[in-house]
Chain A
């Protein structure tokens, strides 16, 4: 990005016009093209004052084809998926879901962030996203609650067949 005085000048030759079509072909990004930049998502977002690129700017990045900017911004990982933008968007766009689609693209391109890596390994080892320790299971039994079993063969096979394991090793 080039600067002229206080104004950032974008160079459109680096834009990827196909990017928005890539996004709408994903499972969660279907609604993207409806965005007309009203900014309702940013106004509703509880995190927008704390992130570098606001939700409506991420949407604009996608529409313009600024792939790099969209995939590297802090916003997509900060999003807590609270769905406020989804219910308020006057165009029926689902920005929260678009963030998920972008996260997936970012994972494909740059690998998994560390915080998710731990979750992935836990799912493969335990079958649950959070480790249910022996201590917790013992406590559950003491309280008269059923013990929760770890990953079984069927679950392991499912993770294999959907190609999940390749995401775990980094």
Chain B
């Protein structure tokens, strides 16, 4: 199984752990990733500034993926939504596509509209299948309670809606449950984490609400599928806690890190040392039952 792999801006800039864990998990599932390193930004942050630059940047990535002759996977829902949206705009507006292709043709790229864009999550769920993932699990995380967080752009992008219900999605829950962990109910599960808003005050307020809710649900950790959410919950958790006089101290893992733990991959190879909220306690939590049994 081969894919072209686009990681976006936030992952190389701030989250080497997400990238590392993704590659290790892909390796153990026998998935080959072909890097698109020269691609640059997908343009999602500047769509309000200049829509044509946004579309050109995205088309360039799509064209580069087409050249590899494999489906494109992203690990950032922001990039995923942007790319599928650009695909649908270009299929509706052939004149725009022509204009984009005249820009791209100078670097001998062409976008024909054949490439399929996927988030790693849907690639794992539909292309690989739950059964295959189950086979790779060697270290059950039974007893671990996870608060699953999808990220807005993943489960509400119009492409994803063909696979799953945007109001009660299940794909990420199922993938987490394969590891033996339990996905807990938390009322604000599908709410925005606030990581993308231009208004910082609002962003922290939303982040605080979500963290409070996750903590109250009794979860041992939060599991994300989006770099923006990971940064909001993990990298900014200390700041949000001190600002609102709280002490959350709840570890935040990307879903590939959780899968990696279940596959028995070493913690250093999953970049767990780069998670800001220490995850050592998590390992204890995941073997909670076993420990209890031993104590008895």
Contact = CB atoms under 8 A, between A and B. Distances in A.
Given A115-B198, A131-B13, A103 B48 contact: yes
B51 A104 contact: yes
Nearest to B200: A115
Contacts of A100: 47-48
Interface stretch (B16-24, B175-183, B235-243): B16-24
B9 interface: yes
Contact of B192 (A84, A137, A140): A84
A149 B13 contact: no
Nearest to B7: A148
B107 interface: yes
Interface residues of B, number: 56
A60 B12 CA distance: 41
Nearest to A123: B41
Most chain A CB neighbours (cut-off 10 Å) among B44, B45, B46, B89:
B46
A161 B103 contact: yes
B295 interface: no
Judged by DSSP, the binding face of A is loop
Nearest to B20: A143
Contacts of A27: 51, 55, 89
B89 to A, nearest CB: 7
A50 interface: yes
Contacts of A129: 9, 41, 44-46
Interface stretch (A1-9, A13-21, A73-81): A73-81
Contacts of A149: 37-38
Contacts of A87: 156, 161, 166-167
Contact of B206 (A47, A137, A139): A47
A130 B192 contact: no
B125 interface: no
Interface string A130-170: 11110011011001111111011011011101111001000
A80 B192 contact: yes
Interface in A110-142: 112-113, 115-116, 119-120, 123, 127-133, 136-137, 139-140
B187 to A, nearest CB: 12
A103 B104 CA distance: 27
Contact of A28 (B19, B35, B51, B203): B51
Contacts of B20: 143-145
Contacts of A119: 45-46
B220 to A, nearest CB: 25
Contacts of A136: 12-14, 16
Contact of B194 (A80, A123, A158): A80
Given A80-B197, A129-B46, A158 B57 contact: yes
A116 B198 contact: yes
Interface in B148-207: 152-153, 156-158, 161, 166-167, 190-192, 194-199, 202-203, 205-206
Going nearest first, the 8 A-B pairs with the smallest beta carbon separation are A103-B48, A82-B192, A80-B197, A83-B156, A82-B152, A130-B13, A127-B40, A164-B53
